[in-house]
Chains A and B, each alone.
Chain A
Amino acid sequence: MKALRVARVLAMATVLAMLGTVLPSSAPAQEKASLKVSIIPIVDVAPLFAAVKEGYFKEQGLEVDTAPTTGGAVGLPGLVAGAYDIVFTNVVSTVQARAQGLPVRIIAPASAVGDGSQGPGGAGILVRSGEGLKSGADLAGKSLAVNTQKNIIWLYARAWIQKAGGDPSKVTFREVPFPQMIDALRGKRVDAVFAVDPFLTIVKGDPGLEFIGSPYLLVQPKLAVAQYVATDEFIKKHPETIRRFNAALQKGIEWVSRRLNTGELRELLSGYTRIKPPLLEKMSPVVDPPRTVDLDSIRKTMALMKEHGLLASSANTEALLAAIAP
């Protein structure tokens, strides 16, 4: 019967396709030409996209394919499972993963908060105007949106609340992806959001929303927020690829560094955040991306993690740091 034959062929094709994705690629275990990179569509990954757009990766013989997620806490498991080769992730998630035995390591810097001299540093707390929420202490009994639980946003929000004299355990933390935070705030699904650019400063001037503080700047200026991470095995197998990735990325960093407040940068951002360029006009100037990974900043972050229960107090900080350092 024809239908039966067609069905059989389809079944075979499906099985073969599935096998193809599961079996290791036939290329010998040398350098990779194409990379799958998990990202969050925020300003921090502008250098990566610049390197793609300007052809820096192609120069190095690399093809970079980006995949958006809601955060490093989601990307890291994907990294270890082999769905991604490299993950853009906040350092708190990286440390936690390593502490739990996941074999991950930083390979390149991504973003850091400035010293505050140029504005909020691309991250801060937004609330609705007129509701009387002015500081971390006022958030008791309210809800605060973070992109994922237990990550750097979550951690520094708690530290900031504490510094303002509040009690973080009285605040309800809700997971909302960055691109949806402003909507959630306006729609009263949450009372406050800890957002990052471009989803933070594009609402500058909106009378209905109010910026009430930057937890990163208040708690730890110059904080190294996020980096690019890969598995130990990947690094061991493809050292040349990693080197080339870094070379291209550094060029991308330079490109962004020279255009911090330009229409060109805003056009690049518009491309991957899907926000229209006119709306990006209101955005504050982007923080200069770091060229290296600041290990000292990570040390301080680990101390804060221990304070807030994200890391066992008995954990060996130096050993962990050595394990994740590039």
Chain B
Amino acid sequence: MNGAREQFRSTALGLVFIASWIATLEIAVRQQWVNRAFSPFPSQIAGQLSEMLGSAHVLEPLASTVGLLGAGYLSACLVGVLLGLLMGYNRNAYHLLEPSLEMLRPIPKPALLPPLILLLGLGAPMKIVIVFLGAVFPVLINTIQGVRFADPVLLDVARTFRRGVLGTVFRVILPACLPLILAGMRVSLGLGLVLVVLAEMLTGAHGLGAQLVDAQRAFRVQEMYAWTVILAGLGLALALIFDWVEARLIFWSSRR
């Protein structure tokens, strides 16, 4: 009983804080402390938002963004895990590939947008590739680290029961490293979302980023903020979904 009330109090505290600064913002704009042209009232934004959500005007750009993000992100996770398992397990593979990857990794991925636009154009392939390039490294590196630091006892268990390489890698090493791999995937998700929106902002035409810039170009400031809120909502939704999936996959990890 007490636990529930505690939880309610702590959540309520955070919500009250958010409500208070939204209210402050509303007052600030009404009183012209902040330039009204650039900051509509929060209530106006809310109105615009409900209008947009109601009209399904949001669906097409949302689907476009999520689709491109999904394609780039999921392929990055797959490649990152498989390549990471290989490089973590096999010394030769690691020494072969590591220098090249070390050259690519430190590049801030937004800086890759101009060359990618040159090479791949302005459409979907370019966006999927930039998401892939941004998302693959955290997953890859965490997988390699996970394999490297996998508990040697577990590896020896696989050996004493004479599991082959594939069996050891996929049935012992992979599950054992999953917490670390998922941590990398979580970072990649956030990074991927940033990159896909950035690419959309720069190339226009489809997706949430394009809608945002479109509203900006036409000086429809309320709509621009509404799109920002939608983007924030998308980020939050993705994080929650990730949490749910993670909890199901590594239900065992804190209990070792």
Contact = CB atoms under 8 A, between A and B. Distances in A.
A and B touch in the complex (CB under 8 A): yes
Interface of A: 73, 76-77, 80-81, 93, 96-97, 99-103, 143, 148-151, 172-175, 187-190, 310
- Residue from B38, B214, B218 with most neighbouring chain A CB atoms (10 Å): B218
A174 B204 contact: yes
B248 to A, nearest CB: 41
A100 B220 contact: yes
A179 B217 CA distance: 19
In order of increasing CB-CB distance, the 4 nearest A-B pairs are A100-B219, A150-B217, A73-B217, A150-B218
Nearest to A187: B118
A174 B205 contact: yes
Nearest to A72: B217
Given A149-B214, A173-B204, 19 more contacts: A73-B217, A77-B216, A81-B38, A93-B217, A100-B218, A100-B219, A100-B220, A100-B221, A103-B37, A148-B217, A149-B217, A149-B218, A150-B218, A174-B204, A175-B202, A175-B203, A175-B204, A189-B118, A310-B218
Interface string B189-207: 0000000000000111100
Nearest to B118: A187
Interface string B29-52: 000000111100000000000000
A4 B217 CA distance: 46
Interface in B214-229: 214, 216-221
A174 B203 contact: yes
Contacts of B203: 174-175
Contacts of A100: 37, 218-221
A150 B214 contact: yes
B213 interface: yes
A102 B219 contact: yes
Contacts of B117: 189
A188 B205 contact: no
Interface string B97-121: 0000000000000000000011001
A320 to B, nearest CB: 13
B219 A189 contact: no
Contacts of B79: none
A189 B121 contact: yes
Contacts of B220: 100
Contacts of A96: 218-219
A151 B217 contact: yes
B217 A173 contact: no
B214 A188 contact: no
B180 interface: no
Contacts of A174: 122, 203-205
Given A101-B36, A175-B204, A190 B217 contact: no
Interface in B75-89: none
Nearest to B126: A189
Nearest to B121: A189
Contacts of B122: 143, 174, 189-190
Contacts of B221: 100
Contacts of A310: 218
A93 B216 CA distance: 11
A207 B88 CA distance: 55
11 contacts: A73-B216, A77-B38, A93-B219, A97-B219, A100-B37, A100-B218, A100-B220, A102-B37, A149-B214, A189-B118, A189-B122
Contact of B204 (A73, A77, A149, A188): A149
Contacts of A189: 117-118, 121-122
A149 B38 CA distance: 19
- Residue from B37, B213, B220 with most neighbouring chain A CB atoms (10 Å): B37
A172 B218 contact: no
A173 B203 CA distance: 9
Nearest to A71: B217
Contacts of B204: 149, 173-175
Nearest to A176: B122
Contacts of A151: 217
B37 A173 contact: no
A319 to B, nearest CB: 17
A80 B214 contact: no
Contacts of A148: 217
B217 A188 contact: no
Contacts of B214: 149-150
Contacts of B217: 73, 93, 148-151
B130 to A, nearest CB: 15
Contacts of A187: 118
B37 A101 contact: yes
B53 to A, nearest CB: 21
Contact of B213 (A101, A149, A188): A149
A310 B220 CA distance: 10
B69 to A, nearest CB: 21
Contacts of B205: 172-174
